[in-house]
Amino acid sequence: MIGIFKQKATTNALLLFVYALVLKFPLFLHPFLPALHPEDNYLYRFILTMLNSLFGQAALPYAVLSFIILFSQATLLNSICNYHKMLPRASYLPGMSYILVTSLLPDWGHFSAPLLINSIMIWCWYRMVALYNSSTPVSAIFNIGFLLGIATLLYIPAIAFLILLFFALLIMRPFRIQEWFIGFIGFTAPFYFLILVLYFVHQLHWQNLVPRIRFTFPAIPGSVWIIASISLLIIPFIIGGIFVQNNLNKMLIHIRKSWSLLLVFLIAAILVIIINKAGSYENWIVTAMPFAVFHAAAYYYPGNRFLISLLHWVCFGVAVGINYLM
Q: Which amino acid type is present at position 84?
A: H
pTM: 0.92
Domain ranges for the chain, please list them. 2-324
Whether 292 has a pLDDT exceeding 90, the answer reads yes
Range of lowest pLDDT (15-19, 54-58, 87-91): 54-58
DSSP letters, 149-205, are HHHHHHBGGGGGGHHHHHHHHHHHS---HHHHHHHHHHHHHHHHHHHHHHHHTT---
Burial 19-56 (b: 16+ CB within 10 A, else e): bbeebbebbeeebbebeebebbbbbbeebbeeeeeebe
Residues 164-173: what's their mean pLDDT? Answer: 90
Whether 153 has a pLDDT exceeding 80, the answer reads yes
Task: Quote the mean pLDDT of the chain.
Answer: 87
Report pLDDT for 30.
Answer: 85
DSSP letters, 227-253, are HHHHHHHHHHHHHHHHHHHHTGGGS-H
Of 307, 284, 308, 306, the C-alpha closest to 295 is 308
- How far apart CA 30 and CA 32 sit, in angstroms, is 6
- How far apart CA 41 and CA 151 sit, in angstroms, is 9
Residues 223-229: what's their mean pLDDT? Answer: 83
Report pLDDT for 287.
Answer: 92
Furthest CA-CA distance within the chain = 64
Report pLDDT for 208.
Answer: 61
Start-to-end CA span in the chain (Å): 25
Report pLDDT for 207.
Answer: 65
DSSP annotation of 275: B
- Render pLDDT for 48-58 as a digit per residue (tens, 0 to 9): 989 988 888 88
- Render pLDDT for 171-207 as a digit per residue (tens, 0 to 9): 988 888 998 999 999 999 988 888 887 777 767 676 6
Neighbours of 221 (CB within 10 A): 15
Helix pair 288-300, 93-101: axis angle to 10 deg: 130
∠ CA 321-325-326, nearest 5°, is: 105
Q: Which amino acid type is present at position 137?
A: P
Report pLDDT for 37.
Answer: 82
Of 121, 81, 116, the C-alpha closest to 97 is 81
- Render pLDDT for 36-50 as a digit per residue (tens, 0 to 9): 888 888 899 999 989
- Render pLDDT for 18-37 as a digit per residue (tens, 0 to 9): 999 999 998 888 888 888 88
Whether 276 has a pLDDT exceeding 70, the answer reads no
Whether 304 has a pLDDT exceeding 90, the answer reads no
Neighbours of 278 (CB within 10 A): 24
Percentage above 70 pLDDT, the chain: 92
Report pLDDT for 291.
Answer: 95
